[in-house]
Structures are given as structure tokens and as C-alpha cells.
């Protein structure tokens, strides 16, 4: 993730945890709950993109290491 407007993994994860806490606590209107749900979905996608990127980087590093060992 290189989009400067996108939050870091940690920021997205922390905000997602807060969204979940607020939804679980209840006491919000339907409109507020829907807005929180949508924000949570967006944050979850952001976190997944960060994790997918990290996995791709690890896989690439392992592949380079394996290629170097085989040479």
C-alpha cells in the first residue's frame, strides 16, 4: 500500500477495533450503525490489503533466498 491517503495497517486495525466496539455496545441509530458498518468494511479491506502485500513481500524474499541457495 503506497497510497498516502490510506492509513497504516496499525491505524486501520485500531480504528476497526473501535468501530466494532461501538457496534457491539449498541445505542446507535440505524443510520449511525450503517455508517459504522460501512467504515468497518472499508477498514477491513485496508487491513487485508496490507496483509496481502506483506505476504507477497515475504514470498518474494523467500523465493530470492531459495534461488540464491540453488545457484
Domain locations along the chain: 9-70
Alpha-carbon span 67 to 64, nearest angstrom: 5
Q: Name the band, by pLDDT with cuts 50, 70 and 90, for residue 70.
A: low
With cell 541457495, the residue in question is 69
Alpha-carbon span 36 to 19, nearest angstrom: 6
Q: Give the right CATH number for 9-70 from 1.10.3860, 3.30.420, 1.20.950, 1.10.287.
A: 1.10.287
Q: Which of 56, 68, 41, 39 is nearest to 1 (CA)?
A: 56
pLDDT, tens digit, for every residue of 19-67? Answer: 999 999 999 999 999 999 999 999 999 999 999 999 999 999 999 999 9
Alpha-carbon span 7 to 11, nearest angstrom: 6
Q: What is the pLDDT of residue 27?
A: 96
Amino acid at each position: 500500500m503506497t497510497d498516502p491517503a490510506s492509513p497504516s495497517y496499525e491505524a486501520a486495525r485500531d480504528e476497526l477495533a473501535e468501530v466494532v466496539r461501538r457496534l457491539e455496545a449498541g445505542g446507535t441509530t440505524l443510520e449511525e450503525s450503517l455508517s459504522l458498518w460501512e467504515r468497518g468494511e472499508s477498514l477491513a479491506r485496508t487491513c487485508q490489503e496490507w496483509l496481502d502485500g506483506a505476504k507477497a513481500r515475504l514470498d518474494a524474499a523467500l523465493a530470492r533466498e531459495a534461488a540464491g541457495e540453488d545457484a
